[in-house]
Structure 1
Amino acid sequence: MDKKTALHHFKEHHFRPLLETELDRLEAQFHHNQAGLISDFKQSFKDLCIHIQSMQQQGLKEPIGYIHYSFLRTQILEQSYLYMVEAYSADWYEDHSDCKLTYDASWAYARMSVMSETLEQRRKIYMGAINSADVERLILESAPFFHSFVDSLIRLAIAESVQTPAYQAIHKAKRLLIRTGEYRDISENLYVWDQEPLPADEVIEKLMQSNEEEPYVYENLKLLSLPHLQQFQQDLRYNDFSYSDLRGIQFDSCILMGTRWQQANIEGGSFKGCLLVDADFRYSHLKGVNFGEASGRGDRKDGRRTPGLCGLRFEHANLDGADFTNVHSFEHAYFEGASMHGTRVPRIYQQHWKLSDEQQQSIAWTE
């Protein structure tokens, strides 16, 4: 068997099945230990903010414009799963005043160590056609799949993390972005803060001008008054609409994956036919909202687990009279503390959702 054939066989019959198994195990651990993981992250974030504040008090750090969580492939090969967490001024990489700590993500990457040891043993049956360097390359290829769990955890934890006094005390630039990705490579926004809210007229104009080539995504749309806004088939993924007045909005068949709506007023609105996977509606006012035909379907192909790890979050929201008729893939939805008087829900979800006795009795179950 030549090397090319051996590698193909090794990937198909050993690497990929093992990767799926380990990711499934990690996903189960992620959901089971989520509260503790969030608590640990919040403490780590608090430590970073205290460090930033200390440097700023000494005149060593300008107002913060970027906080970046980076994974490093070299450390992964050394089985050191510490993320580098760096705070920059608005100059980003041009800011040479080092302000960094680490975040221990071994909870997510420990399964990679198991994979590496297993694959190292299995390669030996190929009689020298596959070497340790080949195994290392495959392990590095899988790194983004494990990183997606860290990404999802930060998304779940960051809204509460930025409410802490430690974060509030640091001096910030006019815009602050919290991002994650590979070190000094492609990264994405997890949280956006602006010193001054964007004018509602400007936001509406940008929303109306957005298209498939230039979607309006990853933006801070908090604290806006946009009642009765109408959007059709727009890509608005990962925008943050928290604390906004959105009464009566009509979003039809829009891509809203990873959007935040915490403490927003969306009474009487509609998300008919929208993709809502990983959307966060915690503490929002959703009385009478129409979720009909919306989808929470995540990505489960070739090792990918995101979007879909965060689930749909409705904890402590007011869902009285809301309509979930004909929603799809809403199995991973969370409703702790939510008011659900007269909420229309297909009975199929009764076996999937963890509901209190009061919620069970308040819901208007449909067939």
Structure 2
Amino acid sequence: MDVFKHGIEAGEEELAPLRTQMLVQLDKLWRSGMDAHIEQLKAVFRALCMRISEQQARGEKGPIGYIHFSYLRSWLMQGELKYALEAYDDTWYMDRCECIELYECDWLYPYLDRMEEGAMAARPYTPNGAAFDSRTVRLREIVTLHQYVREWLRQALPQLLVLPEFEAVKRAEILRIRTGEYKDYSEQLWMEDLADKDAKAVQEWLEQKHPTAYIASDLRSLDLSGGNYADIDLRHSHCTSGNWSNAKMERSTCIGTDFSGSKLSGTNLSQSLLFDADFSSCKLDGASFREAAGGRQVVKDGMVLGFRGISFKDADLEGADLLYADFYNADFSGACMKGALVMSSDAHKWQLSEDQKRNIQWMVEDESGVPVPAGG
């Protein structure tokens, strides 16, 4: 076992550039479209939902509180990348009625195979003279690969959750959909909270700013305007069709947060992390995004931040402050940019129509470094 562990550690110098190369290749796959693989996932998810309904009809399983998409290291050791789709009632792991289907990510094999081959070629033996076990590569790099599977699952969920087989499933008041390692660490992808919510009570809860309590929360269709949510972590939360107008949200973490269809007029999101946030069809007039980040993808130590880019599709950004914001690759299609403040230096970096460019208030720095209207 020590040699096995040593093989992982000793090969890191060789694995790092191979991992970077794999991430570049995976990103190309991601951007070329992953919809082709969703149909197979739908079939497996349908089978899981029908199994749930059968167990519920027999009285063997209660309302579903958890659905897990978990990668299986035991299969990985045999050279196969399989995920278990499991359903539990609201007692979670205390639910002893097994409900499971398997999904094979065979479309990821070429990337894993190339990495293994590169690692074996670079270091066929460990410093102890033992043959380098390629299983060390698979076990180590599943974490890297899983990032893209996780984001693909996020992308696929809206299609899975409208399937009639899922709608027929009896669900608990709170349903959590998670992904990660089997019976180990997992992350929440989605939460459906059907409980009646008092907007004022939710606002008071959010203003307490607990470190991780709000991640992937269900905050849809709530009036949370005027709240003080500065420094809050709302990553991957569902905040659609809500009212966040005039809220203080500076320095917030809104990675992957879905605000689509919401009102955020006058909201302060300056210096916030907005990788993959969705502001499509939002009212953002007078909002501040000054020094917000989330445009350029960040890759560090095999971890990726920024998969899809920020969306401002069909949003109203009239008079918004976008100064010094990193919105490279953001989607501004159909967005109203009338009077929006943008640094002239960003004109060639952002994807803007000619009409949008004419309506923007371009800014430059004066001798003191203060932004002033260009040409004025």
The TM-score bracket by the shorter chain reads 0.7 to 0.9
AA at the equivalent of 2:66: Y
**Aligned equivalent of 1:86:** 86
In 2, Cα distance between equivalents of 1:366 and 1:161: 45
AA at the equivalent of 2:131: N
Residue 84 of structure 2 aligns to a residue whose secondary structure is: strand
In 2, Cα distance between equivalents of 1:39 and 1:338: 32
- Report the alpha carbon displacement of residue 20 of structure 1 after superposing the two structures with TM: 1.0
Match for residue 328 of structure 2 among 331, 335, 338 = 331
Residue 83 of structure 1 aligns to a residue whose secondary structure is: strand
Give ranges in structure 1 of 5+ residues lacking alignment: none
Deviation sequence 1:335-364 (CA, Å, 0-9, x none): 345444444444555545445565555555
Q: Structure 1 residue 111 and structure 2 residue 93: aligned?
A: no
Give ranges in structure 2 of 5+ residues lacking alignment: 365-376
- Report the alpha carbon displacement of residue 123 of structure 1 after superposing the two structures with TM: 2.7
Q: TM-score, normalised by structure 1?
A: 0.85
Which piece of structure 1 moves more, 344-353 or 254-263?
344-353
Q: Structure 1 residue 228 and structure 2 residue 226: aligned?
A: yes
- Report the alpha carbon displacement of residue 163 of structure 1 after superposing the two structures with TM: 4.0
In 2, Cα distance between equivalents of 1:141 and 1:294: 33
- Report the alpha carbon displacement of residue 318 of structure 1 after superposing the two structures with TM: 3.4
**Aligned equivalent of 1:27:** 27
In 1, Cα distance between equivalents of 2:12 and 2:238: 39
Contact between 1:197 and 1:224, CA under 8 Å: does it hold in 2? no
**Aligned equivalent of 1:303:** 302
**Aligned equivalent of 2:371:** none
- Report the alpha carbon displacement of residue 64 of structure 1 after superposing the two structures with TM: 1.2
**Aligned equivalent of 1:97:** 97
Residue 223 of structure 2 aligns to a residue whose secondary structure is: coil
Task: Note closer, same or farther for the CA distance 1:22–1:229 as it changes in structure 2 (3 Å cut).
Answer: same
Task: Note closer, same or farther for the CA distance 1:127–1:176 as it changes in structure 2 (3 Å cut).
Answer: closer
Task: Note closer, same or farther for the CA distance 1:338–1:167 as it changes in structure 2 (3 Å cut).
Answer: farther
Deviation sequence 1:66-120 (CA, Å, 0-9, x none): 1100001122232322211111111212222232223333334531121112322
AA at the equivalent of 2:146: H
Contact between 1:62 and 1:89, CA under 8 Å: does it hold in 2? yes
- Report the alpha carbon displacement of residue 33 of structure 1 after superposing the two structures with TM: 1.8
**Aligned equivalent of 1:219:** 217
- Report the alpha carbon displacement of residue 203 of structure 1 after superposing the two structures with TM: 1.8
Task: Note closer, same or farther for the CA distance 1:66–1:244 as it changes in structure 2 (3 Å cut).
Answer: same
Residue 196 of structure 1 aligns to a residue whose secondary structure is: coil
In 2, Cα distance between equivalents of 1:166 and 1:10: 46
Task: Note closer, same or farther for the CA distance 1:197–1:164 as it changes in structure 2 (3 Å cut).
Answer: farther
Deviation sequence 1:109-152 (CA, Å, 0-9, x none): 5311211123223333779825233x322331121111011111
Contact between 1:206 and 1:216, CA under 8 Å: does it hold in 2? no
Task: Note closer, same or farther for the CA distance 1:204–1:112 as it changes in structure 2 (3 Å cut).
Answer: same
AA at the equivalent of 1:229: G
Q: TM-score, normalised by structure 2?
A: 0.83
Q: Structure 1 residue 149 and structure 2 residue 148: aligned?
A: yes
Task: Note closer, same or farther for the CA distance 1:44–1:268 as it changes in structure 2 (3 Å cut).
Answer: farther
Task: Note closer, same or farther for the CA distance 1:280–1:154 as it changes in structure 2 (3 Å cut).
Answer: farther
Residue 146 of structure 1 aligns to a residue whose secondary structure is: helix
Task: Note closer, same or farther for the CA distance 1:316–1:69 as it changes in structure 2 (3 Å cut).
Answer: farther
Contact between 2:265 and 2:284, CA under 8 Å: does it hold in 1? yes
Q: Structure 1 residue 272 and structure 2 residue 270: aligned?
A: yes
Task: Note closer, same or farther for the CA distance 1:159–1:269 as it changes in structure 2 (3 Å cut).
Answer: farther
Instruction: Please show how residues 24-63 of structure 1 align to structure 2 within 5 Å.
Output: 24-37=24-37, 41=41, 45-46=45-46, 48-57=48-57, 59-63=59-63
**Alpha-carbon RMSD:** 3.1
Residue 70 of structure 1 aligns to a residue whose secondary structure is: strand
Deviation sequence 1:287-336 (CA, Å, 0-9, x none): 3322111111654211111x3223223334333443322113x2232234
In 2, Cα distance between equivalents of 1:36 and 1:366: 43
In 1, Cα distance between equivalents of 2:48 and 2:318: 40
Residue 313 of structure 1 aligns to a residue whose secondary structure is: coil
Contact between 1:280 and 1:313, CA under 8 Å: does it hold in 2? yes
Instruction: Please show how residues 1-367 of structure 1 align to structure 2 within 5 Å.
Output: 10-12=11-13, 14-37=14-37, 41=41, 45-46=45-46, 48-57=48-57, 59-124=59-124, 129-133=129-133, 135-212=134-211, 216-296=214-294, 299-305=298-304, 307-328=305-326, 330-355=327-352, 359=356, 363-367=360-364
- Report the alpha carbon displacement of residue 231 of structure 1 after superposing the two structures with TM: 2.0
Contact between 1:320 and 1:340, CA under 8 Å: does it hold in 2? yes
In 2, Cα distance between equivalents of 1:78 and 1:19: 21
In 2, Cα distance between equivalents of 1:71 and 1:5: 24
Contact between 1:108 and 1:147, CA under 8 Å: does it hold in 2? no
In 1, Cα distance between equivalents of 2:145 and 2:44: 19
Which piece of structure 1 moves more, 345-354 or 56-65?
345-354
Task: Note closer, same or farther for the CA distance 1:350–1:35 as it changes in structure 2 (3 Å cut).
Answer: farther
- Report the alpha carbon displacement of residue 192 of structure 1 after superposing the two structures with TM: 0.5
AA at the equivalent of 1:11: E
